[in-house]
Amino acid sequence: MRKIGLCIVYKNWNYGSMLQSFATLLELRKLNEDYEIIRYERKKDLAFYLNSLPRIFLQDMRYSKFRSLRKKFGKKMHKEFARNDEIRTSMFESFRERNFDNFSPVIKTYNELCDYATRFDAVLVGSDQLWLPSGLDTNFFNLMFVPENVNKIAYAASFGISEIPSKQKNRTIEYLNRINYISVREYSGQKLIRELTGRKVPVIVDPTLVISKEVWDANILDERKIEEDYIFCYLLGNNMEHRVEIQKLSQKKKLKIVTLRHMDEYIEADESFGNYAPYDVGPREFINLIRHASYVCTDSFHGSVFSIINHKQFVSFNRYGEKSKNSRNSRLESLFRQLGIDRRFKGNILDDITEEIDYQKVDQKLFELRTFAENYLKNALN
């Protein structure tokens, strides 16, 4: 039986990241594949920090660090939030312990990583924004550590951006040309690869959508957390206009707002936003909050994905301005294009959220896209 090494996100306390990694495991279990999650945790010594210095000049790294620092500052200034964030972290850890398996030993150096990769028949890099410019120098998610004779597969990979920094183009071309099978999650990624390498690669749906609702229901226990009817609000950005729109909806529909606060950064104004703001919410509870919501308002890709899987009436805000250099809006644009869904927020929240989605057509389209993605993966592994 062949052995597959997995480069996936298993330690990021983000609902989308963890659930798409879990979905990848579910798909490989369905195919009866023997996999191992590669744990590469570089030793953070002086050399590590010196090598990391050039990354500070990358736009996506500065943006990420800025938001991270805001969250750290928020925890330092607000002890109650610090305690609540620990509760949320423990829920993620508990989910990982229950649902993730077959971990490699912890690998500390790049040389050890290269040597460890020789034991696999194939190495697969998962979905999510794992090809952001800030991660290039690690040579992990781009599979540069994998020997030439080992099959290398990219499964619904994402650059997270629409343009590669000029200084990284040659190295990006190098790693793309080494990967035997590439599929991407966004049309912008497909365009990038064609421009850089001339390769025509398929766009496939995110792993969370490859898994059917029936399989999600079988693996995520259904449990209602909030007894009354509510609007579930999952916002990662700090756009105050979106919050004002949601409050308008709350007043018109006479529904309470359930929200998850301070996910990527601490947002002071959110302390007074929403009627319920639970912190004991891991990936399982996240899905259940969507399952039982009357409406969902989100600026998150995976917030939109699980709204679609569970046939919710929802709006999906653009988290980033159209001209923002940090924009990741292409994920949502690709998702709606693939499923034939109109843009879910055009300016009037009441009209947009009550505009019925024809989920019969969506499910038929999803079946076709799911079948295509599954066949792609089978073919790549074989």
Could you give the domains of the chain? 3-211+368-381 (3.40.50), 223-365 (3.40.50.2000)
Query: Which tens digits make up the pLDDT trace of 248-274?
Result: 999 999 999 999 999 888 888 899 999
Confidence label for 321 from pLDDT (cuts 50, 70 and 90): low
Confidence label for 72 from pLDDT (cuts 50, 70 and 90): confident
Query: Which tens digits make up the pLDDT trace of 104-137?
Result: 999 999 999 999 999 999 999 988 889 988 878 8
pLDDT at 43: 73
**Whole-prediction pTM value?**
0.91
Number of residues written out for the chain: 382
pLDDT at 67: 65
HEC readout, 174-186:
HHHHHCCEEEECC
CA-based nearest residue to 220, from 307, 288, 296, 302: 288
Query: Which tens digits make up the pLDDT trace of 331-382?
Result: 788 899 999 998 888 888 989 999 999 999 999 999 999 999 999 999 999 9
Confidence label for 226 from pLDDT (cuts 50, 70 and 90): very high
Contact 203/338 with Cβ under 8 angstroms? Answer: yes
- Candidate from 82-91, 133-142, 153-162, 316-325 with smallest mean pLDDT: 316-325
Handedness of CA 44, 45, 46, 47 (dihedral sign): negative
How many other C-beta atoms can be found within 10 angstroms of the C-beta atom of residue 363? 17
pLDDT at 60: 54
